[in-house]
Amino acid sequence: MSNSPVIMDGKIVSAKIRGALKAQVASMKEKPCLAVVLVGEDPASKVYVANKEKACVEIGYASRKIVLPEQTGEDELMDVVAKLNDDSSVHGLLVQFPLPLHLKHLEERIIQTINPKKDVDGFHPINVGVMTTCSGSVCEEALLPCTPLGIIRILTEYKIPIAGKHAVILGRSNLVGKPVALLLLAQDATVTVCHSKTINLTQYSQKADIVVSAVGKANFVTADMVKEGAVIIDAGINRTQNGLVGDVDFAAVSGKVSAITPVPGGIGPMTIAMLMENLMKAYRMQKNG
């Protein structure tokens, strides 16, 4: 196998997507508006929110950031969410997780409270429910989760065949593992989901045409776990002493595979790009009733 796999560059693909959105917004009288609620001072959350704001400015969207103090109470936070739900000038709404410890138990309730037509994260049970029956036009009726969407989009942009291929997902989280399995099924892949209780996980990953890793363990996927010519999607983000790394031992694995996403610069930028696409979709859904 060649030592030069295709590097699936999320920065390039996301720039293309944002450019297309910017062109659409330029001709719109009303600008789609994203509202982000940030509670507390979590450093990673502040970075994520800043990146979303930056993308909105670049595209020409309106954005609103509501920053609440760490000690914010339940009622106050839920009141903020309710008001944004009712505000017709806000088209997309998200509350940045994780919440401070005393509010952690509210996360599921918040997801269920956000208007599903404003749920640009794609977490509301109604949107998740539509995703489970997703095929073709059905997918147009819901806002789908951004990271899984970004994974499908980058595979599509790099013309990686999905139909009939064996995709192995490492991780079963509600954020990535489960939804990406559903979206790959909708694209006619044969899907195996592995997780922390899977016995001899390597026997599955070695047979995969496409491996999607979302386990949150630095360098978890090694060269012996993948077959020659496989396609590797690294959806892991792990902060180490050596900086940001993915789930995949990139240096070792890239010499064996046909295509791979880097970390950083792979799925991360795609997630933001899909959020921006979801905002446009949410706006059009609300305007069309």
Active site residues: 52, 96, 121
CA–CA dist 194, 210 (Å, integer): 13
In sequence order, what are the residues at sequence separation of 6 or more whose Cβ sits closer than 8 angstroms to the Cβ of residue 56? 34, 62, 63, 276, 279
DSSP-assigned letters across all residues of 47-66: HHHHHHHHHHHHHT-EEEEE
* Sheet hosting strand 231-234, strand order edge to edge: 6-7, 259-260, 231-234, 210-213, 166-170, 190-194
Q: Which residues of 8-41 are buried (b: 16+ CB within 10 A; e: fewer)?
A: bbbeebbeebbeebeeebeeeeebbbbbbbbbbe
Give the span between the Cα atoms of 207 and 101, in whole angstroms. Answer: 41
C-alpha torsion angle, residues 180, 145, 276, 154 (rounded to 10): 0
